[in-house]
Homo-oligomer: A and B are copies of this chain.
Amino acid sequence: MRFGLFGGARTSMGDQPSDSQQLHDFIDYVVEAEELGFESVFLVEHHFTGFGQVSASLNLLSFLAAQTRRMRLGTAVMVLPWHNPALLAEQAATVDVLSGGRLDLGVGRGYRYNEFHGFRMDMDEAEARYQECLSFIRKAWTTQGRFSHRGKYWNYDDVVVEPAPLQRPHPPLWIGANSAASIIKTANDGMNLLIAQHGTPEVVGEKIAIFRDAVEKAGRVFDPFSAGVTRALHVCYTPEERNRQHELRIRFMRNVQELSLPPSGPVAGNHFQGHGDEADMRRKTETDALIGTPEEIIARLKVYEAAGIRHMLLMDVGGSREALRIFGREVMPEFRENSVS
């Protein structure tokens, strides 16, 4: 099993160190993670949260490209509806070039009401904007010479998008998918799969199996690292610490839920909007998150491994460098012999 980081999520959530301190702490955290053997970092893109989540994700990855040597630099995800497709294609290609071809470009439609509200964009447009932007980026990265584009949301004439990305035909594209239909479409589109923070090992394993089958039915060889599963990580030793970590996790889920919910209430299929009450949330954190001692986390990860998961992205909200080191030194070696790197 390979491990990566997910988030850019060392947010203050009210504890208020400066934005600058937070960002530099996170950079040090990622650099140490590479030394400990983490093989990727996937950054979120979020706006207007009020608790300092990463907004300019590709700028932070550009800096990390200079500070790291081997790890893959990913987004999970760039929210395409908010971006000018040509500027985004240039920015992502620049990160790919700067990093020596280490970009993994995760893309998505966005799911938080708060952000669409901020941009004054109708969430109903998200799907069409996403499709158009993604289609433009693929075209920009695979077209020789100049081309034009006529769309519903963007238009270009006689453009050539420079620089070209280093990875050919282009950096791997990743997308979060949940339903069987979306997962099969992801495979058929030749994209890699991101699975979000919720669901039991069995449920997640089933999704990976659907993805693998679809990739193989499409006539390609399934790469077990082309499917990344995100889990919250909280190392703790005492019952008090365990409670505090559950509370931290629940506080984070509640923040995300608040930012996601439209005033009209939850939208069907948006799994960030309906976590239920405190007891429901506690049950979810027990089931989904990696909260416990190193031994408990190893045991939990063995279950994920048995379910077919080979690429685990860890999200340690408000987490410590100490937890990272414990994971790197005590948990990761248990899975090293299975790594195919």
Contact = CB atoms under 8 A, between A and B. Distances in A.
A58 B62 CA distance: 9
A48 B87 contact: no
Nearest to A48: B159
A91 B162 contact: no
B162 A55 contact: yes
A118 B157 contact: yes
Contacts of A82: 84, 87
Interface stretch (A94-102, A198-206, A240-248): A94-102
A15 to B, nearest CB: 15
A66 interface: yes
A33 interface: no
A158 interface: yes
A67 B62 CA distance: 11
Interface in A137-159: 146, 155-159
Given A52-B163, A82-B87, A94 B157 contact: no
A314 B216 CA distance: 56
B158 A52 contact: no
A65 B20 CA distance: 14
Contact of A119 (B50, B65, B86, B93): B86
26 contacts: A18-B164, A19-B97, A20-B163, A20-B166, A47-B86, A48-B158, A48-B159, A48-B161, A48-B162, A50-B160, A50-B162, A52-B162, A56-B58, A56-B87, A56-B90, A56-B93, A59-B59, A59-B62, A59-B95, A60-B62, A66-B66, A82-B84, A86-B118, A118-B156, A118-B158, A119-B156
A23 interface: yes
A83 interface: yes
- For the complex of A and B, the 8 pairs showing the least CB-CB separation, nearest first, are A19-B163, A66-B66, A62-B62, A56-B94, A55-B90, A56-B91, A120-B155, A59-B62
A63 interface: yes
Given A47-B162, A62-B62, 8 more contacts: A20-B97, A20-B163, A20-B166, A55-B94, A63-B98, A86-B118, A117-B158, A119-B156
